[in-house]
Structure 1
Amino acid sequence: MITETSAVTFRQNLGDMLNQVHYRSDSIVINKDGKPIAALVDARLFARIRRMQVRFDALSERLALGFEDVPQEEGMAEIEAAVKATRRAKR
């Protein structure tokens, strides 16, 4: 479950919110002036997010290298066509 709270409430209830995240695997979005500024998530989820970020960065780098000699519009058109084809194949 994802809960939203203000920064003030978060600060006042830090211990309870840590327990909520740790024992119930909840996530908490912390808002300041009505805008999300941070999130508290379970350490296992955070580790997974970091691994996904590393894989995403590596994929982005491979794409950039593969398309470095291709004009931007042409490269984007190829990528969009591949995405559409993949989505059609999944249906």
Structure 2
Amino acid sequence: MITEVTAVNFRQNLGDMLNQVQYRHDSIVINKDGKPVAALVDAELFARIRRMREHFEALSDRVAHAYDDVPAEQGMAEIEAAVAAERNR
């Protein structure tokens, strides 16, 4: 479950919210001035997010290196063509 709280409420109830995240594996979105500024998630989920981000960055690097010798205009044209083809599906 995802709970949204204000920063003031979060600060006042930190212990309870840590328990909620640790034992129930809930997530808490912390809002300030009505906008989300942070999230509290359990350590296992955070580790998964970190691994996914590392994999994404590695894949992005591989794609970037594959196009090192391709002029930017040609690369952008290929990307736009692929996006258009996918949208038409």
TM-score for both structures, normalised by structure 1? 0.82
- Give the CA deviation at 1:68: 1.5
Q: What amino acid sits opposite 1:3 in the alignment?
A: T
Q: How many residues align?
A: 86
Q: How far apart are the structure 2 equivalents of 1:42 and 1:77?
A: 42
Aligned residue runs from structure 1 range 18-57, under 5 A? 18-57=18-57
Q: How far apart are the structure 1 equivalents of 2:73 and 2:38?
A: 35
- Give the CA deviation at 1:73: 3.8
Q: How far apart are the structure 1 equivalents of 2:45 and 2:76?
A: 32
Q: What amino acid sits opposite 2:78 in the alignment?
A: E
Q: How far apart are the structure 2 equivalents of 1:52 and 1:29?
A: 20
The alignment yields a C-alpha RMSD, in angstroms, of 2.0
Structure 1: gaps (5+ residues): none
Q: How far apart are the structure 1 equivalents of 2:27 and 2:72?
A: 38
Question: For 1:59-82, what per-residue CA distance to the aligned partner results, in whole angstroms no more than 9, with x for missing partners?
Answer: 111111001221334323434528
Q: How far apart are the structure 2 equivalents of 1:46 and 1:30?
A: 16
Q: How far apart are the structure 1 equivalents of 2:73 and 2:5?
A: 42
Report the identity percentage.
74
Question: Residue in 1 aligned with 2:70?
Answer: 70
Q: Please list every run of at least 4 consecutive aligned residues from structure 1 whose deviation after the TM superposition is greater than 4 angstroms.
A: none
Q: How far apart are the structure 2 equivalents of 1:77 and 1:45?
A: 37
